[in-house]
């Protein structure tokens, strides 16, 4: 069961590991990222950031979709992490269970504009966001669980 799907360009860090993980009661953090799945150094580095009692899986987008759609993984309580709107879109498209996406952090990049203090999106991101909204997917911004929810559609 996916407890939260989160976009955070830093993927796994202290805020995610020690605030979101206990608040959600997850036992598995799944990083869905094609680049990181092939990078042993990044996998090792991210492994250092996970809470001791939590399983960390790092898989490609395709392998993540396969895992999360497999009934054998239903017992897991998963925090799904991606680092871009594009990857979140791919997860939503491939995993019918996902009905909501949390925006945690997207640093500014060329062609992007801030829609909140920690979220910068470009035109391609906005196109995908609008498509997700049209499919009824809830898109909310919160850095930590205790923050008030800001709905992305109100900030575009």
Residues annotated as part of the active site: 13
**H or E element that contains 2:** strand 2-8
Asked if 11 contacts 58 with a C-beta cutoff of 8 angstroms, the reply is no
Bridge partners of 151, per DSSP, are: 140
39, burial (CB in 10 Å: exposed 0-12, middle 13-18, buried 19+): middle
């Amino acid at each position: 069961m996916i407890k939260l799907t989160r976009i955070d360009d830093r993927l796994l860090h202290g805020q995610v590991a020690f605030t979101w993980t206990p608040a959600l009661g997850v036992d598995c953090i799944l990083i869905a990222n094609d680049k990181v799945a092939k990078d042993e150094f990044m996998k090792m580095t991210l492994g250092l950031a996970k809470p001791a009692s939590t399983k960390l899986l790092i898989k490609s987008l395709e392998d993540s979709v396969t895992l999360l759609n497999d009934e054998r993984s239903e017992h897991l309580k998963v925090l799904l992490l991606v680092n871009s709107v594009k990857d979140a879109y791919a997860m939503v498209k491939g995993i019918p269970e996902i009905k909501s996406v949390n925006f945690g952090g997207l640093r500014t990049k060329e062609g992007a504009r801030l829609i909140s203090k920690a979220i910068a999106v470009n035109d391609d991101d906005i196109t995908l966001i609008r498509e997700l909204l049209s499919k009824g997917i809830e898109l909310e911004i919160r850095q930590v669980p205790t923050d008030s929810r800001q709905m992305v559609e109100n900030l575009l």
